[in-house]
Structure 1
């Protein structure tokens, strides 16, 4: 139930205690990406993970999580930088893949594969975030599905390769699909499995693309008479990723998505703040649309961007929830935030200057 078998029906209002615990637990796996990310420009691991795979969970306080990290994931953006802007930190660490241990499997009743993604930190990621144009995903070579469109910057980050990156080989997509295929091949024929993708902000966009990709390529289909592996996405402060065709295809593939949304967080209204699922004049192919089920939470502080969008705020709201907010208030809250901040331009330079904060 907590992984969306019935789209979390009757579990969100009020929020079911077991689901709340799961959302906090997976959110902490995402938070580990931030805690382990090396921001020291003088470090040899700058823009990468500070710890080895066997150390990370212990170092960030998740030593009793019941999971073991099997692979680190790196991503790059194939973009042209403006003159005078240094392309530092292009191909860098964005998250990891972990699998539940044998003892954890006995408690969960299944072998769970987690993929956790952090949000935006580097300049190349900022540029990718603000490309904001829809483009066909074309991830299935046998069926391009031109009606399935996603934000070009997120797709760029997911599929581009940076040969200068000494840690990750191949694109983010290639690294992910290779390791997930290996784990499915190892466990899928003999055990019940689940694939759980969790991300904050930009990381939730990568999680959505990966979920769609796994389903489209049928990597989660039964092996040797087994059962289909469920794919679940837990999104924290995630933006829109694709158009109506993308949402419909995700639903057809059985991808389950639960979006945890701070109603004062403007990033959850982007891209497509105006041309979205509520705007029908342009048609669904040309408008951004959210995927899945939304869990709206009231913000503890709606005045500071770093507060409303910070993953710590999201986890705090889950641990100590306040009143529910009516869905009709969401756009009003977002417009009010933009007005207060006097955002006249949505260039990536303006946003980076405004935020001066790495965890987007």
Structure 2
């Protein structure tokens, strides 16, 4: 079956890919339904758990097709007809890129007494091996550091910059499997308190990343933009802002492999998904992916539990530039509803055919949404946990799906009330925030 797949006809491709899908897998599979949202071009895919099944050789055959159909898997057709049911090639790629992001968390040093506090625990050559990804087929080429507005005092003074992610390039052997040379940029999510504060400013500001065409109508969340563009000259690990580090390294890699088929894949979780989308937009807006020719290097963003990043003009510009975004979200995850709990893409369209005067101030999600549905009463924090996201996609076992039951915020409040922890200083604050978000959400 793998040798007969053709990419010339999208519908035929979809049909052939479905024929290669496994009928069984160890713990189960996701049933994904797709519906079009009338207020935008965004698609919403809802995953639920079906009966346990067993993996077959057909799955391995499907994997071997990746080199032939990688453009479709990377979203060249906005994942049309590859999500109902969820194609195994796409699911495997989502999991694979999610593991690259997980590596950021595993390698991040949060021990205050460590010399590498707020940096990576390992050197570039060993990092992937140290986090259990030896043999993944990629080589780390650069570590990336970012600077929020708020600094953190450490034993050695005040540390402002911290390790946020890395750039990696696929090996020659991996190129054969992937069908192209893949450049991966991954970002971890928010970990420290100052990062939470700096990245929840919830105010829109013009991105102005292209000096030749600032596009003042294209606005993004100020905290995310600040983290992406701020520079800390005192940091001994990096030179320049997060943006400058990334654009420099990507330009170098693209030039090194300019004669090869390339792809740029950006993946992140939570705050990291916001940086991923900003970088993807920046690359496309500057034309870095065109490399002086008419041939464009495809840019794909895999966003895990990501918040909104910009306004509707930002969303529309990303679509114009061909930036492909697949948002993997848990419907019970409140972070995916922020910022813009009230002023968002749904509110913007209340005016029907008429543009509301404040519509430019409305936040909007970008891309196609793959919506999972899971919650654990004993562990409410799992709703935003990246490893839980990946586990559901890999082995959807014992995941409770409550389509018509109480939502996350209601369950979280009920959980807190039952714990007899009224003396905890954060207890009332957490309940109040939950009440506020619930009263404003759409």
Q: TM-score, normalised by structure 2?
A: 0.72
2:410 to 336, 339, 342: 336
Q: Does 1:53 align with 2:124?
A: yes
1:139 to 209, 218, 233: 209
Partner of 2:53: none
Q: Does 1:199 align with 2:292?
A: no
Alignment of 1:130-169 (within 5 A): 130-169=200-239
Partner of 2:373: 298
Give the Å deviation of 1:120: 0.7
Give the Å deviation of 1:334: 5.2
Tell me if structure 2 keeps the 8 A contact 1:76–1:157: yes
Alignment of 1:1-360 (within 5 A): 1-79=72-150, 89-188=159-258, 190-223=259-292, 227-280=295-348, 281=356, 283-301=358-376, 304-321=379-396, 333=407, 336=410, 340=414, 343-345=431-433
Structure with higher Rg: it is 2
1-structure distance, mates of 2:314, 2:133: 34
Go from structure 1 to structure 2 and tell me whether the alpha carbon gap of 1:51 and 1:288 turns closer, same or farther (over 3 Å shift). same
Give the Å deviation of 1:325: 7.7
Tell me if structure 2 keeps the 8 A contact 1:130–1:153: yes
Go from structure 1 to structure 2 and tell me whether the alpha carbon gap of 1:193 and 1:282 turns closer, same or farther (over 3 Å shift). same
2-structure distance, mates of 1:113, 1:30: 14
Give the Å deviation of 1:293: 0.2
Go from structure 1 to structure 2 and tell me whether the alpha carbon gap of 1:16 and 1:282 turns closer, same or farther (over 3 Å shift). farther
Give the Å deviation of 1:12: 2.0
1-structure distance, mates of 2:318, 2:84: 24
Tell me if structure 2 keeps the 8 A contact 1:37–1:47: yes
Tell me if structure 2 keeps the 8 A contact 1:89–1:122: no
Give the Å deviation of 1:180: 0.4
Partner of 1:354: none
1-structure distance, mates of 2:402, 2:210: 39
Give the Å deviation of 1:304: 3.8
SS at match of 1:209: helix
SS at match of 1:14: coil
Gaps of 5+ in 1: 82-86, 347-360
Question: In the TM superposition, what whole-angstrom CA distance separates every residue of 1:176-210 from its partner, at most 9, and x where no partner exists?
Answer: 0000011111112x101000000000000000000
1-structure distance, mates of 2:293, 2:323: 22
Go from structure 1 to structure 2 and tell me whether the alpha carbon gap of 1:298 and 1:98 turns closer, same or farther (over 3 Å shift). same
SS at match of 1:278: helix
2-structure distance, mates of 1:337, 1:162: 42
Partner of 1:353: none
2-structure distance, mates of 1:287, 1:234: 23
Give the Å deviation of 1:37: 0.5
Give the Å deviation of 1:80: 8.1
Give the Å deviation of 1:320: 2.3
Go from structure 1 to structure 2 and tell me whether the alpha carbon gap of 1:276 and 1:49 turns closer, same or farther (over 3 Å shift). same
Question: In the TM superposition, what whole-angstrom CA distance separates every residue of 1:234-293 from its partner, at most 9, and x where no partner exists?
Answer: 000000000000000000000000000111111001111121110025543101100000
Gaps of 5+ in 2: 1-71, 349-355, 417-429, 435-442
Count of residues paired in the alignment: 337
Question: In the TM superposition, what whole-angstrom CA distance separates every residue of 1:130-189 from its partner, at most 9, and x where no partner exists?
Answer: 21101000000011101100000000000001122110111000000000011111112x
Q: TM-score, normalised by structure 1?
A: 0.88
Give the Å deviation of 1:338: 6.8
Give the Å deviation of 1:302: 5.7
